[in-house]
Chain A
């Protein structure tokens, strides 16, 4: 096994503007294979927009995104292929309510990967077991708790065998008692060597799983360092102010 660094995500001078709003205003970042990056920052600072540019759910205004050595362009077919390699987990889960849990986890496998029903179901059950809810395979999303729904969403992404996982505040919509079950799944994933970019304010997760933490404000990366450094000795005033605010909770 080679441990040569491999750039899984490269962001070069990314800008994304919505009219006059400069949601992302010049971000550059390189994420190596197996690294876990945590992104923090106040609401509206452009964290989600940056994340959504990585898989081109938002088309950047300017700048470049490279995924595992491939530059994303405008070709829809190529973008679809890239997106299949990049899992994304949303704050609001976004499970498909008209499909059972099992169907949620198999549909893209069948449609995108062309797997047979049997194969897709086998992989789905493996992933549902991994996130700890194989017994819910035949339930519908509306009958699950928030924590269970989010774990299904993670399983749904993992079933595509992604190279990268993006998390956009995966625990923000959860009741406190369910946060841990989702973070535990994410921690396992990090230990297994998944390349991850996580927007989350869960400091415990950042300290135990993150290799690097980014602090974003007003569309730019204000600080980019190790979790220890950022939480213990923040250098910028904006970072200190933000940390003091989230620590009050």
Chain B
């Protein structure tokens, strides 16, 4: 509607961004939700049930993100590497992940990838036993699929998926640093790795911190996908609650507000951080 108004609002001395009514609308939604949950028994019941999943959601997001950062950094370094093997390997990883829907990836990694990995481990263990290294081989050989709980498979799936996204962020961050920085480091006798670590990465990471933050928010939301693996995160618990009580409205209002609370809080935190970075 504002786009259609003939006179730009900005001209009148106040700016559209000063109103920030969207922010107050979200605050209102929170107040309303808290009020409802506090006063209505059905909602209170739903909240009590669903909040059992909060720890799983947060834990899944945090652990997956930490692994994804490591994977993403390695793959990002691979993407800019002059070593043809690592460069191609990193590219392959990123392209594979980006070409498959996340939901399918989660099924695939958890239900196909992990079992294949376990089979490989078993075969390797059997081979070790055969060549007489039973003390390492036997435990590897007897390693079962059950060693990987669905929760840990969900974390593996999210880590591998987000690692590819973060790889592109790290790559862009590294490439945003002028060539002269690497040359200055190398001309002082520092190795490629030392220059990366002490000179390039600190600057690159700083440049991409907002993007990394945004992806963490996205990760928090995407943990909902692991409910398809029956991991009892807040989405899965809501589904269970709604399914057994038929209180769909209570379940999905509550879980939506929970996600919103987490993502809005994180977004504000990221904005604060960005502002602080821009100030110095």
Whether a CB of chain A sits under 8 angstroms from the CB of B180 is yes
Among A80, A82, A95, A157, contact of B190 (Cβ-Cβ < 8 Å): A80
> A95 vs B180: C-alpha distance in the bound complex, in angstroms?
9
Among A80, A92, A98, contact of B202 (Cβ-Cβ < 8 Å): A98
- Does the CB pair A156–B188 fall under 8 Å? yes
- Does the CB pair B194–A111 fall under 8 Å? yes
Given contacts A107-B198, A111-B198, A112-B194, contact A96 B186 (CB under 8 A): no
A86 to B, closest residue via Cβ:
B187
A76 to B, closest residue via Cβ:
B191
- Does the CB pair A160–B188 fall under 8 Å? yes
Residues of A within 8 A of B202 (CB): 98
Given contacts A96-B181, A96-B199, A98-B206, contact A88 B187 (CB under 8 A): yes
Residues of B within 8 A of A156 (CB): 188
Residues of B within 8 A of A231 (CB): none
A87 to B, closest residue via Cβ:
B187
Given contacts A90-B180, A96-B181, contact A83 B186 (CB under 8 A): yes
Q: Which residues of A in the span 75-111 have a Cβ within 8 Å of any Cβ on B? A: 76-77, 80-88, 90, 92, 94-98, 107-108, 111
Query: Shortest Cβ distance from A13 into chain B, in angstroms?
Result: 24
Query: Shortest Cβ distance from B185 into chain A, in angstroms?
Result: 8
Residues of B within 8 A of A57 (CB): 183, 186-187
Residues of B within 8 A of A77 (CB): 191
Find the residue from B178, B183, B189 having the highest chain A CB count within 10 A: B189
- Does the CB pair A90–B184 fall under 8 Å? yes
Query: Shortest Cβ distance from B258 into chain A, in angstroms?
Result: 38
> A76 vs B194: C-alpha distance in the bound complex, in angstroms?
13
Size bin of chain B's contact surface: 10 to 19
Whether a CB of chain A sits under 8 angstroms from the CB of B42 is no
Whether a CB of chain A sits under 8 angstroms from the CB of B138 is no
Query: Shortest Cβ distance from B158 into chain A, in angstroms?
Result: 31
- Does the CB pair A112–B189 fall under 8 Å? yes
> A160 vs B190: C-alpha distance in the bound complex, in angstroms?
11
> A14 vs B81: C-alpha distance in the bound complex, in angstroms?
27
- Does the CB pair A157–B183 fall under 8 Å? no
Whether a CB of chain B sits under 8 angstroms from the CB of A55 is yes
Residues 178-215 of chain B, each 1 if its beta carbon lies under 8 Å from chain A, else 0: 10110111111111101000110011001000000000
> A90 vs B179: C-alpha distance in the bound complex, in angstroms?
12
How many A-B pairs have beta carbons closer than 8 Å: the answer is 65
Q: Which residues of B in the span 130-188 have a Cβ within 8 Å of any Cβ on A? A: 178, 180-181, 183-188
Residues of B within 8 A of A83 (CB): 186-189
> A157 vs B190: C-alpha distance in the bound complex, in angstroms?
12
- Does the CB pair B189–A84 fall under 8 Å? yes
Residues of B within 8 A of A108 (CB): 185, 188-190
Residues of A within 8 A of B190 (CB): 80, 108, 111-112
Q: Which residues of A in the span 117-168 have a Cβ within 8 Å of any Cβ on B? A: 153, 156-157, 160
- Does the CB pair A112–B188 fall under 8 Å? yes
Residues of B within 8 A of A97 (CB): 203
> A77 vs B203: C-alpha distance in the bound complex, in angstroms?
25
Residues of B within 8 A of A80 (CB): 186, 189-191
A157 to B, closest residue via Cβ:
B188
Residues of B within 8 A of A88 (CB): 183-184, 187
Residues of B within 8 A of A90 (CB): 180, 183-184
Residues of A within 8 A of B198 (CB): 107, 111
> A160 vs B187: C-alpha distance in the bound complex, in angstroms?
11
By a beta-carbon cutoff of 8 Å, the part of chain B in contact with chain A is 178, 180-181, 183-192, 194, 198-199, 202-203, 206
Extra 9 A-B pairs, beta carbons < 8 Å, given A83-B189, A95-B184, A111-B198:
A80-B186, A82-B189, A88-B184, A92-B180, A98-B206, A108-B190, A111-B190, A112-B188, A153-B184
